[in-house]
A and B are shown apart, each in its own frame.
Chain A
C-alpha cells in the first residue's frame, strides 16, 4: 500500500519522532522524505534525512548526500548524524562532512564515523589525523585524536 505524505508528516511533525516506528513506513516513504529534505523547513528536512538513513537503501545514501550539500548547517548536521546509520556511505561523503566549514557539522560527522565503523578507510583516517592537528577548534582536535587512537586504519 502506498505511503502518503500525510503518514510521513504524522511521524515527523512530532517534536520527538519515534524513529523506529517511522522507519516501518519503509522505502515507499522515500519520495516524500526527499521532498521534505529539500524543503524550506530545516527541522522537517533534518528529520526526513535521519529517517531516510534508518530505512537503509541506496536511496538513503542519495538523500543524505544531497543534504550534505545544503546551505543550511542544520540540515548538513542532520546529514552528519545520519552517517552513523549508513555503513556503506561513500568515503567522499564522510570526508565532505568531516571538512565542513561549520564546527558543529564536523563534530557530529566525527562522532558518527566513530559510532558506525570498526576501522577507518585510509583517506578518512588521513582526514581525521589532519583534524587532530589542524582543526581550528581545540575540542575537535582532541576528539579527532581520540578517534585516531581508538580506531584502526584499514
Chain B
C-alpha cells in the first residue's frame, strides 16, 4: 500500500525512474503508471489508458494509447528500440 492510499504512484527520485502498484489495483494500473514514467499525463477519456478518472472505469478494454502518446513513449530516453 501507499500513504496516502493510491492504486499506484509514479513519483520517483530524479534519475531513478520507477513506480509502485498496490496489491488491489486494477489490471491496467501498472501500464498507466509506466505511462507516467515514460512521459504521459492524465486525460479525461475512459477509453484510454491514461484516464484520470480511474482505470477501474475504463470502457471498451483494452484501453487505448493515441498516436501522440505512442510517439511520446517512443521518444522517451527510457525507451529502448527492439
Size class of B's contact patch? 20 to 34
Check if B75 is an interface residue, CB within 8 A of chain A: no
Chain B binding surface SS class: loop
User: Is there an interface contact between A13 and B5, defined as CB atoms closer than 8 Å?
Assistant: no
Number of A-B contacts (CB under 8 A): 59
Contact of A43 among B4, B22, B52, B53 (CB under 8 A): B22
Among residues of A, the one whose C-beta sits closest to the C-beta of B8 is: A15
Given the complex of chains A and B, what is the CA–CA distance between A17 and B5 in angstroms? 8
User: Is there an interface contact between A13 and B53, defined as CB atoms closer than 8 Å?
Assistant: yes
Given contacts A43-B7, A43-B22, A43-B25, contact A15 B32 (CB under 8 A): yes
Given the complex of chains A and B, what is the CA–CA distance between A17 and B54 in angstroms? 9
- A residues adjacent to B (C-beta < 8 A): 10, 13-17, 19, 41-43, 46-47, 49-50, 74, 77-78, 81, 84, 104, 108, 111-112
